[in-house]
Structure 1
Amino acid sequence: MTYWTDSLTRAAPVRMQRVAVVAPRGALRDVLVRVADAGCVELDRPDDSPHGTGPAARALQTLRTEAVPPLLSRTPPDLTALQADGRADLLAGEAQLEAHRAAAVARGPAAALAGWCPVGAVPRLGADLADAGGALVPLRAPRGIDPPTLLTATSAVRRSFGPLVRTYGTVPYTDIDPTLPAGIAYVVMFGMMFGDAGHGALLLLGALLLRLGRPRRLAPLRRLWPFVAGAGLTSTLAGVAYGEFFGPTGVLPVLWLNPLEEPVRLLASAVGFGAILLALAYAAGIVNRWRESGPGRALYAASGIAGAAVFLGLALVAGGVLLRLPALTWSGAALAGTGLVLVGAGLSAESGGGASGVLQTGIQLFDVVVRIGSNTVSFARLAAFGLTHAALGAIVWQATTGLAGRGAAGVAAALLVFLLGNALAFALEALVAGIQALRLEFYELFSRVFDAEGRPFRPWHVPTQSAEPSEPPYAPLRHVTEVTT
């Protein structure tokens, strides 16, 4: 059975409802089978609940087979017959069901289990459980406990960018969902470092092959084709701006600048672009601190309004010095000072006061200033590795043109050098650009966006034998949501 959550356009995790699955003791198995088949409820499992100690679990252990996807039957099966037939899938499903039944809280003739369910799935699941004699009862969320996080994935682009955020951690339930902007920032940074129209075209070709499921051994990566296509598009655009097509071959004119001829301008542009990304990260951080702990935390946090004031103030100071505008310089200094006072007040409250607290606050304030400067300058690597890519392309092209004028053998050697040199440059720079873009994303940007880590939503999903073959866990939500794992 498939359950669809409401289409969500807001940049936030899916709204969760605390629920209780309630059923008469005699109907508990049937109700739990329906819950497992729906695959949209994460049931609580107390730490002291028995795991794998029931009859089905013991029968499964005797089979000594490889792990298989669990399966459930609508009616209670004969465990002895399943064991004799080697049905490890049905035994595995029954073992999970036994564990949940053992964890249920029984009061009189009824039993109940608590858990979390996406708000959009509650009505239809409740109606289905009612048909089996059970109920899905909405509960008030417990204080001090955030719901698990389920991120929306309404498009192929969002699904392809999802692993970028999940690799860093699980987005807290109260935070905004940064998947789409984080993915865009990543591919743009990658393109700046991998700026070559020819190499970008190869990435676009690779994205097309992934989309078509070729080669077959890469079929599991098919969902990443928009990510690869985005990296290829930005690399191509950067290559067009630099006039690079498999190196400085002259096929494309320089539309913006030649990296090797204007490195200082390229470095300044990279740092400026990084400052814009940092400003956006501070904006997201302010929203997240407000959602997490209210206006006080948003005001005083180093990743909130106070930290943003320090960053903006220092940027104004730098601009005033470069442009020789004293008024701008002093205004920036005043803003940065105000931000430091606010950050210091927040840090002092957290340190507990006293001499050690003052010392700790002073060290942390110094770290805030140093980090802002170092993080901003760190974006110069966008230009540095772009220069490296251009230099490698120039070396390969010079060697190619040098050999091409030496007869037929020279032409053959030039072709070989051109192909091997570009292959080496492509592989090396793709790896370096990918790692460096990931580093900038995680350390410079996400460190301001996130202040804590959430808990991923892991619903219990075991398909029933009578239903059509089901996909892996969380498949019932696959078209509109994506679980952070």
Structure 2
Amino acid sequence: MGWREVAAPVRMQRVAVVCPKVVLRDMLVHVADAGVVEIDRATSDASPDESPDSCLRAAAPDLGDLERDGRGDLLAGEVELRSYADSAVVRDEVAALAGWVPTTELTALTSRLSDVGAGVVPITAPRGVDPPTLLHRGKDLRRSFTALVETYGTVPYADVDPSALAGIAYVLMFGMMFGDAGHGALLVILGFLMRAGRPRVLARFHKAWPFVAGSGLAAIVFGLLYGEFFGPTGVVPVLWLAPLDQPVTLMAVALGVGAVFLAGAQIVGTVNRWREGGWPLALSAPSGVAGGALLAGLGLIVLGANGGLGWLIVVGALVMAGGVGLAYIGFLAAAGRGAAGVTQASVEVFDAVIRVGANLVSFTRLAAFGLTHAALGKIVWDGTTELWRSGGILMAAAVIVFVVGNVLAFALEALVAGVQALRLEYYELFSRIFAGQGRPFRPWYVPTERTGTGELQSTVSSTPIGANLGRKP
């Protein structure tokens, strides 16, 4: 799979599943068992409450027998099937339903339906209707990162799938705030225990294990850079800086990291706006070129001020002015003409400029919570060493302080860093990447009861669908 395919949602094909009317039920049974087709409904309230416990039989059952046998799962499956059958378009002796199928599943679905005399016909999508979105799942690592994006919302079909970039950004931000090699190692161990499902209470979190292990690895890297191993114990040397000794430097680096992340989000957002509405939207949107110019101009002004380069400040101001102009044109086009439109566009431009600075400053929390973690570690280590020097029974108390203190620091800081990294991801980065929500791909899936050999029995019924369900056809 090429990078273009990986960086976009799964490609969807609009199709019609077609069959002779007499085999409509058999076709629907195979469609339901395949679980790869999202079938259109005539109305939004026509969908049944699909039960995860429902199933179907290949041959049309007697509903009375099912009720007497207490087979609620089969009854629920027949109700779902009936609802989809009622949505079919019937012309003479042919029945058809329209829907969406991932392009990768077309060949297998066509082969499967041919067994009952049905077919899959690619058709043109209706104008103005976006396909549903299905993100690539892949292996554990990608699936874990995809969950991060899907928790925020559904990626519009036209947009880039940012799962991989979002996952990398998250673990890096977490690691910077949770920089301790010892605590990071505990997270790595926890991640692999989740992967193994041992103890059993961790099995439910299996899908998140790459996230936890990756965050732990990032924490180990930053812990080595900070010289932190269960606090400033001296077990590992300071490879870069000690947070409590150089807080201003750490704060400046956090702002630099934030600027890089915001620039990356702005680039992805620009691509998305272009794919959604072409160059006019990509140029004028705050999450497009206009917003990128505001961010770039602010960066140039800051660099010029720090370096005493007046010409760079002027260039930055001009770049920001260009961004303001592009954004104003976009806001004015959306607000309409007249005094009200001008006022609204002016307020929105002012808000966009302020938001760029606020979003950048928000990344100082990477340093702030990194300092908090280091401070907690130092408090625990200072208490431990003081008790240890006192000797005697206080040495046992020192061990207790060290263990309990690190447990509390680990639990508190893991929670805080996890939440704050998620906040930065959603509010500062995703707000630039996404301008709207897509519609999730919801294929119809109801498994079919198997025979003793495990095979699905394909039958061709000569009874109209309405009669099978106790209704007049």
The two structures have a TM-score, normalised by structure 2, of 0.93
Alpha-carbon distance in 1 for matches of 2:90, 2:190: 56
- Out of 164-173 and 213-222, give the one that drifted further: 213-222
> Superposed, which structure 2 residues align to 1:99-178 within 5 Å?
99-178=83-162
Encode CA deviations 1:293-334: one digit per residue, 9 max, x unaligned. Answer: 111111111110111011101110111111111111111111
1:251 aligns with 2:235: yes
Is 1:194–1:430's contact at 8 Å kept on the other side of the alignment? yes
> Superposed, which structure 2 residues align to 1:16-35 within 5 Å?
16-35=12-31
3-state SS in 2 of match to 1:151:
coil
Tell me the equivalent position of 1:13.
Answer: 9
Where does structure 1 lack aligned partners over 5 or more consecutive residues? 58-66, 471-485
Deviation at 1:68, TM superposition (A): 5.9
Q: Which runs of 4+ in 1 moved over 6 A?
A: 5-8
Alpha-carbon distance in 1 for matches of 2:36, 2:413: 42
Compared CA separation, residues 422 and 11, structure 1 to 2 (3 A): same
Deviation at 1:46, TM superposition (A): 2.2
> Superposed, which structure 2 residues align to 1:351-430 within 5 Å?
351-430=335-414
Tell me the equivalent position of 2:461.
Answer: none
Is 1:49–1:102's contact at 8 Å kept on the other side of the alignment? no
Encode CA deviations 1:374-398: one digit per residue, 9 max, x unaligned. Answer: 1001100000000000000000001
Q: State the identity as a percent.
A: 56
3-state SS in 1 of match to 2:135:
strand
1:463 aligns with 2:447: yes
Deviation at 1:127, TM superposition (A): 2.3
Deviation at 1:154, TM superposition (A): 2.0
The two structures have a TM-score, normalised by structure 1, of 0.91
Which of the numbers 35, 42, 47 marks the counterpart of 1:46? 42
Is 2:24–2:85's contact at 8 Å kept on the other side of the alignment? yes
3-state SS in 1 of match to 2:96:
strand
3-state SS in 2 of match to 1:112:
strand
- Out of 26-35 and 86-95, give the one that drifted further: 86-95
Alpha-carbon distance in 2 for matches of 1:100, 1:442: 38
Give the letter for the 2:58 counterpart.
R
Which of the numbers 287, 290, 293 marks the counterpart of 1:309? 293
Encode CA deviations 1:94-123: one digit per residue, 9 max, x unaligned. Answer: 111011011112111112111100011112
Deviation at 1:49, TM superposition (A): 6.6
Give the letter for the 2:132 counterpart.
P
Tell me the equivalent position of 2:261.
Answer: 277
Give the letter for the 1:253 counterpart.
P
Compared CA separation, residues 6 and 137, structure 1 to 2 (3 A): farther
Deviation at 1:51, TM superposition (A): 5.4
Give the letter for the 1:125 counterpart.
L
Alpha-carbon distance in 1 for matches of 2:16, 2:395: 75
Deviation at 1:131, TM superposition (A): 2.1
Alpha-carbon distance in 1 for matches of 2:300, 2:267: 17
Give the letter for the 2:156 counterpart.
P
Give the letter for the 1:289 counterpart.
R
Compared CA separation, residues 46 and 383, structure 1 to 2 (3 A): same
1:179 aligns with 2:163: yes
Compared CA separation, residues 52 and 296, structure 1 to 2 (3 A): closer
Give the letter for the 2:317 counterpart.
A
Give the paired residue count. 454
